[in-house]
């Protein structure tokens, strides 16, 4: 990740006014994200290190080198960045990403969390892993990065995070689609909420775009080594057409091998896992498991 300073003579506010989208939804008032920054002195022993920076819309590509696309896919409005330091020279970097909806904020949170960290009671859901802390609340994803795993830095991460969390008034629940994942055996921290092909390819590549024009999707891993992807196409007829296209692509694929006798079909993927599908209204469910029977069983439980 790289930092790019606002060009001389052009304030961050001017950049925001030039490229910001229209009226905001999903949060109280119309204040810019600077309103979410803790006041100077609000976090004991930590002070701002330099002025904040804002990047909106396509300017995100100037701030994040090689990773902006996934934020845009979920729905990105703007980000404010502020560094902090303490008297011992420890540093913490704060990023507040304002997304287009609570679903977008939840989605990018699930994309960024490791699933291996410690749950923290911040916002709607948060995770501390090594010296990274992420939480989401309302339309916001809040990311804090320390630069060492020492106690002072970790305490600073959580103190700054708590001060930011108190400034964000809006709250939201996770998208209802995650309830399509059967709860028994689900590794909760593994859940990924997806909004497009880029996110889907990151969690499981089908090596095609045909049949994958879904509105939203969710993926979860299970304790037995299986995984489930549920694709929501919005309408049953849209799902039926998409499944027809995806099935044809997989049948013709050089990477997936179809098991001859199974109906609905089961495919063996490039890693030797088996993928079974099930249709449920507007949902298409794809279960990935070590055996055809396990894949079929999990697919049949999805979306119920």
| pLDDT at residue number 41 | 86
Provide the 3-class DSSP secondary structure of residue 23.
coil
| pLDDT at residue number 65 | 83
Answer for the pair 213, 199: CB distance below 8 angstroms, yes or no: no
pLDDT tens for each residue of 129-160? 999 999 999 999 999 999 888 999 999 999 99
Is pLDDT above 50 for 263? yes
Domain positions in the chain: 12-167, 176-301
For domain 176-301, which architecture applies?
3-Layer(aba) Sandwich (3.40)
| pLDDT (mean) for 66-87 | 95
Answer for the pair 108, 77: CB distance below 8 angstroms, yes or no: no
pLDDT tens for each residue of 112-131? 999 889 999 999 999 999 99
Distance of CA 158 to the CA centre of its chain: 21
- Closest C-alpha to 177, from 220, 238, 208, 241: 220
Residue 10 or residue 214, greater confidence:
214
Q: Which tokens go with 151?
A: 């106690």
pLDDT band at 303 (very low <50, low <70, confident <90, very high): low
Is pLDDT above 60 for 73? yes
| pLDDT at residue number 187 | 95
| pLDDT at residue number 265 | 87
The domain defined by 12-167 folds into: Protein Transport Mog1p; Chain A (3.40.1000)
| pLDDT (mean) for 266-279 | 95
Residue 294 or residue 11, greater confidence:
294
Single pTM value for the model: 0.87
Instruction: Measure the CA–CA gap between 41 and 131, rounded to whole angstroms.
Output: 23
Q: Which tokens go with 128?
A: 């501390």
Topology agreement, domain 12-167 and domain 176-301: yes
| pLDDT at residue number 123 | 96
| pLDDT at residue number 12 | 32
Distance of CA 74 to the CA centre of its chain: 7
Judge if the upstream peptide bond of residue 264 is cis by omega within 30 degrees of 0: yes
Instruction: Measure the CA–CA gap between 214 and 42, rounded to whole angstroms.
Output: 44
| pLDDT at residue number 261 | 66
Residue with tokens 């304030």: 11
Instruction: Measure the CA–CA gap between 26 and 121, rounded to whole angstroms.
Output: 21
Answer for the pair 266, 295: CB distance below 8 angstroms, yes or no: yes
User: Within a 10 A sphere around the Cβ of 30, how many other Cβ atoms?
Assistant: 8
pLDDT tens for each residue of 201-247? 999 999 999 999 999 999 999 999 999 999 999 999 999 999 999 99
Rg (Cα) of the chain, in Å, rounded?
A: 21
Backbone angles phi, psi at 297, to 5 degrees: -65, -45
Instruction: Measure the CA–CA gap between 245 and 226, rounded to whole angstroms.
Output: 25
């Amino acid at each position: 990740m790289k930092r790019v300073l606002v060009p001389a003579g052009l304030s961050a506010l001017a950049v925001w006014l030039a490229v910001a989208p229209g009226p905001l939804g999903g949060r109280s008032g119309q204040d810019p994200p600077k309103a979410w920054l803790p006041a100077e002195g609000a976090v004991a022993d930590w002070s701002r290190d330099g002025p904040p920076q804002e990047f909106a819309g396509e300017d995100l590509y100037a701030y994040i080198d090689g990773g902006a696309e996934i934020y845009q896919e979920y729905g990105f409005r703007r980000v404010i960045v502020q560094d902090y330091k303490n008297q011992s020279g420890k540093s913490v970097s704060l990023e507040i990403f304002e997304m287009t909806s609570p679903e977008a904020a939840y989605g990018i949170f699930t994309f960024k969390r490791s699933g291996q960290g410690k749950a923290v009671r911040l916002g709607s859901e948060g995770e501390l892993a090594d010296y990274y802390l992420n939480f989401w609340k309302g339309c916001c994803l809040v990311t804090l990065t320390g630069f060492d795993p020492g106690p002072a830095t970790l305490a600073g991460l959580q103190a700054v995070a708590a001060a930011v969390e108190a400034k964000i008034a809006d709250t939201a629940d996770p998208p209802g689609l995650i309830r399509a994942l059967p709860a028994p055996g689900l590794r909760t921290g593994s859940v990924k909420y997806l909004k497009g092909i880029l996110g889907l390819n990151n969690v499981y590549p089908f090596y095609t775009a045909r049949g994958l024009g879904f509105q939203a999707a969710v993926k979860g891993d299970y304790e037995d080594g299986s995984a489930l992807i549920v694709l929501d196409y919005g309408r049953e007829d849209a799902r039926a057409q998409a499944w027809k296209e995806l099935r044809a692509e997989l049948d013709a694929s050089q990477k997936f091998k179809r098991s001859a006798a199974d109906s609905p079909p089961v495919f063996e993927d490039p890693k030797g896992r088996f993928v079974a599908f099930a249709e449920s209204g507007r949902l298409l469910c794809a279960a990935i498991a070590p055996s055809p029977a396990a894949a079929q069983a999990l697919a049949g439980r999805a979306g119920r």
